[in-house]
Amino acid sequence: MAGSRDDIRAVASDDAAYPAALRTIADPPPVLYVRGTVRPGDVRAVAVVGTRRASAYGAQAARYLAGGLARNGVTVVSGLARGIDAVAHDAALLAGGRTLAVLGCGVDVTYPPEHRRLAERIVASGALLAEVPPGTPPLRFQFPRRNRLISGLCAGVVVVEGREDSGALITACAALEQGRDVFAVPGPIFDPRTAAPHGLLRDGAAPVTCAEDILDALGWPVTDPAVPDVGPPLNGEEEQVFAHLELTPQTTDEIVLRSRLRAAAVARSLVVLECRGLVTVLPGPRYVRRFAGGPVGKAQARHWSSSSRPPKPAR
């Protein structure tokens, strides 16, 4: 796949198309290679990063947060790696938002190879960026350097999951040096993959339980309604199935058992709800509602997050 392509542009740091946020960091790359488009609106960006070997919980958290950010007009930035990165990009795209991927290899080289399709989708609704020239193979040492660009492009960095030595911590450190906010997603304490976010929380990062937490902290408006307008009203069955959906993944069988509806009714309602964008399908298949819930659920989440948020980390 390596080789020159027509759609790659080299953007110098004095170019108008050069992302403004990067000019503010200590060592901005003199030239940035771009596939896709970077827009002025992409200054409102948040990075969602984490382990390549995500747990089901981590993947769901990344999907939930990245989706929520994207729906509120925030550009989601990540590194196109397996695991959390890929989920974050995918969720942003599915939400119809913008996403930028900063690569450690040339923008015409897809690594890992199974993300070729994902990369094409990103080019269509965002951009692939790299400071190394096209054709550069993915080499280990380039990835840590790349991480400073991920944080540099953003106003904040969300660390979802990672072990003690996770690359996400490199991004978080770079974010602190660059004066960006650092957020961390709490998780089960026995899972070694929560070591990185919990370490950051101990050091003063802001805990995140929903996209609104991040928007509040950055002072950006919450524009997305709790449950968006999805066209004609739901019918009785669909309403009932939706009422039984939670943010914890459930199988069709579990929904059948709780709702006391027929399996056929649950099956067709889930497809309708998915088409309306109200439910997300996770592997299994398991189903979660796309939004934190009705007005009640959301108000509660806001209340807790605003009263128990620790002071911002000192910078």
Partner 1 sequence: MLARIRSAAIHGIEAYPVDVEVDVGRGLPSFAIVGLPDPAVQEAKERVRAAIRNAGYDIPPRRITVNLAPADIRKAGPAFDLPMAIGVLTAAAQVRLRGLPETMLVGELSLDGTLRPITGTLPVALAARAAGMRALVVPDRNGPEASLVPGLAVHAARTLAEVLGHLDGTALLPVLPPAPPAAAGEGEDDVDFNEVRGHAAARRALEIAAAGGHNVLLLGPPGTGKTMLARRVPTILPPLERSEAMVVRQIYSVAGLLPAGAPAGRVRPFRSPHHTTSAAAMTGGGIPPRPGEVTLAHHGVLFMDELPEFRRDVLEALRQPMEDRVVTVARVASTVRFPASFMLLAAMNPCPCGHHGDPARDCLCTPPQVRRYRARLSGPLLDRIDLHVGVPRLSGDDIALAGGAESSCVMRGRVREARGRQTARFGTPGTTNALLSARQLRRLCRLDESGPAFLRTATDRLALSARAHDRVLRVARTIADLEGDVTVTAAHVAEAIQYRVLDRPAAGSLDTL
Nearest distance, CB of residue 108 and partner 1, angstroms: 21
Strand 156-159, strand 31-36: pairing: unpaired
Nearest distance, CB of residue 86 and partner 1, angstroms: 5
- Measured from the CB atom, is 93 or 172 closer to partner 1? 93
Nearest distance, CB of residue 99 and partner 1, angstroms: 15
- Measured from the CB atom, is 179 or 284 closer to partner 1? 284
- Measured from the CB atom, is 174 or 279 closer to partner 1? 279
Nearest distance, CB of residue 257 and partner 1, angstroms: 5
Q: How far apart are CA 210 and CA 69, in angstroms?
A: 9
Residue 113 CB neighbours (<10 A): 10
- Measured from the CB atom, is 9 or 82 closer to partner 1? 82
Burial class (CB in 10 A: 0-12, 13-18, 19+), 253: exposed
Residue of 63, 31, 41 whose CA lies nearest to 129: 31
Nearest distance, CB of residue 78 and partner 1, angstroms: 13
Nearest distance, CB of residue 281 and partner 1, angstroms: 4
**3-class secondary structure, 230:** coil
Q: Which residues bind partner 1 (CB under 8 A)?
A: 55-57, 59, 63, 82-83, 86-87, 90, 94, 112, 114-115, 118, 249, 251-254, 256-257, 262-264, 266-272, 274-275, 277, 280-286
Q: How far apart are CA 281 and CA 143, in angstroms?
A: 31
- The encoded tokens of residue 239 equal 């309403």
- Measured from the CB atom, is 18 or 57 closer to partner 1? 57
- Measured from the CB atom, is 145 or 268 closer to partner 1? 268
Nearest distance, CB of residue 297 and partner 1, angstroms: 21
Residue of 142, 143, 151, 205 whose CA lies nearest to 178: 151
- Measured from the CB atom, is 121 or 302 closer to partner 1? 121
> Cβ contacts of residue 32 below 8 Å, gap of 6+?
10, 11, 13, 18, 19, 22, 129, 130, 131
What's 134-201 look like in SS3?
A: CCCCCCCCHHHHHHHHHHHCCCEEEECCCCCCCHHHHHHHHHHHCCCEEEECCCCCCCHHHHHHHHHH
